[in-house]
Structure formats: C-alpha cells, structure tokens
Amino acid sequence: MNGSVLAINAADLWFDWEIDTWPLLMALLVGLSCGLLGTVFLVRRTALLGDAVSHSVLPGIAGGLLLAGYLVKQDDGHVFGTSTTMLFIMGGALLAALASTMLIEALHRYSRIKPDTALGAVFPAFFAAGVILIRIVARNAHFDEDCVFYGSLEVIGEGSQVLPTLLCSILVILFFLGFYKEILITSFDQQLSRSLGLPTGLVNLLLVSLLALAVVVAFEAVGAILVIALLIIPPATAQLLSYRFDRVLLLAAFFGLSAALLGSWMTILLETVGFETARAPTVAVVAGLQFLLALTFGPEQGLLVQGLRKRALKSRILEENLLGAVYRLGGNPPAEPVLLEDAAARLGYAPAKLSSALRRCISRGELTVEEAAVSLTPQGEQKVAEIIRGHRLWESYMIHEMGAAADHVHDAADQIEHHLQPGLVKELEELLGNPAVDPHGSQIP
C-alpha cells in the first residue's frame, strides 16, 4: 500500500464543505460589498477614505464592547457573532466612522488644513485611541487583538457569524440598485447634483455609513489592513477594463468575488503541499495579481497592447519612409529603380534595418525588386503620393499660416506626415486653396 507522507489525496485539493463553507461565504460577501463601495470612493478620488474609516472604527468597536460588557451580563466567551454585543459594536463603529469623516470634512472646510492632511491627522488619532481602548477591553473579554489587524477567516465556524456580513451585503446591493443614478451624479459632479435638488448630502452620508458597516463586518474576516486591499484593488482593476460606471461597478464586484474564491482555494492548495498560510492575505495577493494581469493584458489600456500599438506604428513609419525615399530618389516619372543602400543612406539607416520593412512592402505589392534595385508599383506610387501630399501641404501651412521659415519646416513635416488623417488633409487643402507646388517649388502630388 502507499504509505508515503507525500501522497496527496485529490479531495484535499478542493473545498471541504464542512469546514470551508462559512469562511468562503464570508470572504465572498466581503469581496462583493467592498468591490462595489470601493469603486465609488475610487472614482471620487477619495480611495483613502476607506483607509481612514477602516482605522477609525476601532475606538467605536472597543467602546461598543465596553458598553456591552457593562450592559450585557451574560458572557458566553464569544464576542463577535453574539447578536446583542454585535449590535453595540456596529453602533459604536458607525458612530466612530461618521465622527471621523465629519471631522476630516470640518477640519478642511473651517481651517486652512488641506484634505489629505486632515485625513492623515484624524484617522491615526482615532486608531490610536482604539488601540488603547482595545487593550482595556481585552482584559475583560475574550478578544483576539491580532484578528483586528490581520483578520482570521479560519475562525468562522458557523452561519450566525456570517449573518451580519450577509445583511450588510444585501443592504449594499439594495442601495446600489435603488440609488444608482444618485450615486453616479454625486460622484461625478456634486454641484450639479445639488443644483438639480437631488439628495446629495443623504447619498454621501449613506455611502460613508455603508462603508463603515462593511468595514466592521469585514473586520474579523479580513482585518483592518486587508479590508483596504479589497476596497481599492478590485475597483482599480475594474477601472483598467472599462470606462462606463455601471460596468466598472459590475467588474469590481466580480473581481472582489473571484479574488475571494481563488484566494480561499489557493490557501487550501498551499496547505495541501505543506505551506501553512492565512486566507485573508492570500485573497489580497490574488486581488493584486488580478490587477497586474489587467494592467498588462487589458484590451484598451493594457501595457502589452500599448506596446504592440507603438511597435506597429514604428514599423508603419519605417515602411512609409522607405516608400518616400524610393519615390524621391527615383526622380520624375518614368522613375528609375533605386538601390536599397541608397534609400537607406538617404534615410540615415543601416540597410539591414530596412529589410523587414522592404519585405512587408513587397508582400503588400507596393514595391518590386530586381537585381537589388527597388521600384514602386502603381499601388505603391499612389500610397506614397498621398503621404508626400500631406508632407508638402503641411510645409505650406507652416510657412503661409504660421510664419515659419522655409528651411525650418521639413523635419516637422517628416514627423507629421505619418499622422495626418484624411479629414485634416482636406482641411489643409481648403485652407491653402489647393496649391500645386510646395514652398520649396516641388510639385504637390
């Protein structure tokens, strides 16, 4: 029989539903609500408000616990999950979050302090007060300090612990369904929103309250630090992929959910091969990987696509320069064939640099080669005429309309000729009255 310690049971690689259901559900709900709420704060350019709120709730949590300790006598050893205590914690956290955001707002409105300074001054103060209070509370109640900062999805063992998060997520979804247009307009243009008489202040207040709520219910699961990762990274990933607010919201929710799922699963995988990790950080790492992937492979703004586009532009310019050199060196029709070396010398390139451009021009039927000499086909001639037309029109425009000196315009025209759109060429023609020759006396084809 196989007695090796290294033998891995296939079942270990997958979720063990008895143990993993509740932590997974918790992570999914946190990912979902943080993704949606985070998007709003991200597009409002106040992404760090999530940071501030997630730290500011701490004194509220501690205060709520303290109060609950006095008022609720029975202590069953659990702090989170017991409903009465949880209500105190929620209430305290909500108050602390609202107090800190209002204080930040008031500081910058009624003093000369800038918003970022106000934010940076307020939330560490709240956080520090929270840490001190937590120390006091920790003596009286069973309270895992580490979990406040780093989170511990593993400790969630029953459905009742997920219930507050579930309720919060439902509230968040209802809020977005009901107030979508108000969320959009207040995020884009508060003044317009107020000038239309929309409940701008109410929407702002609800947003901060829901953020506070989401942060508090996420606290035990992912901790104060990692909740920020889920508030900022999935929305940032989503924004790389779409420029429509509704789609960015859906994508952010999707990335929040999938980071939670993949992160949880990866933790199980890593555990199976002997790496003991924690779920919350793994979820955050997955979110970071999603961001990197979107940044690299995004269809519109991705670095890869941008790089490819730049390369394509570079080779198009090279081809157009080659055609131009053959045209200019060939002389007036009937044109003479041109040696590739001569064309390269005119452009200031090594001949080898032109070989791939030459191959592409030949394959498109714009150039033909005979005994190392290159000549334009009729198709190539037509294309080059258009480019040179743009070039010479631009030179005329620079000299006649912009007052540039005749010997200063060629280099600029060399650059611009590759980028002139047909519409702009037409505009130049009309502006200049369809000239037949350029300022240097060359014919405009």
Taking only Cα atoms into account, the Rg of the chain, rounded to an integer number of angstroms, comes to 33
Among 129, 154, 166, 194, binds another protein (CB under 8 A): 194
| Position among 196, 303, 313, 406 found at the interface with another protein (CB under 8 A) | 196
The interface region with another protein, picked from 225-233, 235-243, 254-262, 408-416 by CB under 8 A, is 235-243
Applying CB under 8 A, which part among 115-123, 125-133, 172-180, 254-262 lies near another protein? 172-180
Q: Please, what is the minimum distance in Å from the beta carbon of residue 192 to another protein?
A: 7
d(CA 147, CA 268): 20
Interface segment toward another protein; rule CB under 8 A; list 29-37, 159-167, 197-205, 434-442: 197-205
Minimum CB distance to another protein, residue 280 (Å): 28
As to burial, measured by CB atoms within 10 angstroms (0-12 exposed, 13-18 middle, 19+ buried), residue 427 is middle
- Residue bearing tokens 């539903």: 17
Question: Which 3 state secondary structure label does DSSP give 368?
Answer: strand
In the shown chain, the binding pattern of residues 174 to 193 toward another protein, with x for contact by CB under 8 A and - for none, equals ----xxxxx-xx-xxx-xxx
Nearest distance in Å: CB 190, another protein: 9
Give the residue, chosen from 245, 328, 337, 360, that forms a contact with another protein under the rule CB under 8 A: 245
Residue pair 33/104 in contact (Cβ under 8 Å)? The answer is no
CA angle 253, 248, 283 (to 5 degrees): 35
Take residue 296 and report the two structure tokens written for it.
Answer: 């690299």
**For another protein, which is the closer residue by CB, 272 or 301?**
301
* Closer CB to another protein, 284 or 294, in the complex: 294
d(C-alpha 214, C-alpha 231), whole Å:
10
Q: Looking only at residues 370 through 389 of this chain, which bind another protein when binding is defined by CB under 8 A?
A: none
User: Which lies closer to another protein via its Cβ, residue 361 or residue 428?
Assistant: 428
What is the CB neighbour count within 10 angstroms for residue 269? Answer: 16
User: Cβ distance 64 to 55 under 8 Å?
Assistant: no
| Tokens standing for residue 380 | 């190539």
Q: Of 248 and 398, which has the nearer Cβ to another protein?
A: 248
Per CB under 8 A, the list member of 239, 264, 267, 375 interacting with another protein is 239
Can residue 201 be called a binding residue for another protein (CB under 8 A)?
A: no
In 242-339, where does DSSP find H-type helix?
245-272, 279-297, 303-330
Cβ-based neighbours of 126, under 8 Å, separated by 6 or more: 55, 56, 58, 59, 96, 99, 100
Kindly determine how many residues on this chain lie close enough to bind another protein according to the rule CB under 8 A.
28
- Nearer of residues 109 and 440 to another protein, judged by Cβ: 109
Please enumerate in sequence order all residues whose Cβ is within 8 A of that of 9, keeping only pairs 6 or more positions apart, or say none.
none
The distance of closest approach from Cβ of residue 32 to another protein in the complex, given in angstroms and rounded to an integer, is 19
**Structural contact between residues 114 and 123, judged by C-beta atoms closer than 8 angstroms:** no
Best CA proximity match to 154, nearest among 279, 10, 331, 269: 279
CB-CB contact of 442 with 435 (8 Å): no
Q: For residues 245 and 349, which CB has a smaller minimum distance to another protein in the complex?
A: 245
Half-sphere exposure of 434 (CA within 13 A, CB side): 0
The answer to the question of residue 210 lying near another protein (CB under 8 A) is no
Of 15 and 179, which has the nearer Cβ to another protein?
179
- Smallest CA-to-CA distance from 29 within 298, 305, 213 is with 213
Q: Which residues of 184-197 are buried (b: 16+ CB within 10 A; e: fewer)?
A: bbbbeebeebeeee
Nearer to another protein, 44 or 78 (CB): 44
Q: In whole angstroms, how close is the CB of 231 to another protein at the nearest point?
A: 17
Assess 115 for contact with another protein (CB under 8 A): no
For the segment 423-442, give every residue that binds another protein (CB under 8 A).
Answer: none
CB 297, min distance to another protein, A: 19
- Tell which positions 37-56 bind another protein, by CB under 8 A: 43, 45
Candidate list 3, 77, 197, 378; residue touching another protein; CB under 8 A: 197
Name the site residues for another protein (rule: CB under 8 A). 43, 45, 110, 178-182, 184-185, 187-189, 191-199, 239, 242-245, 248
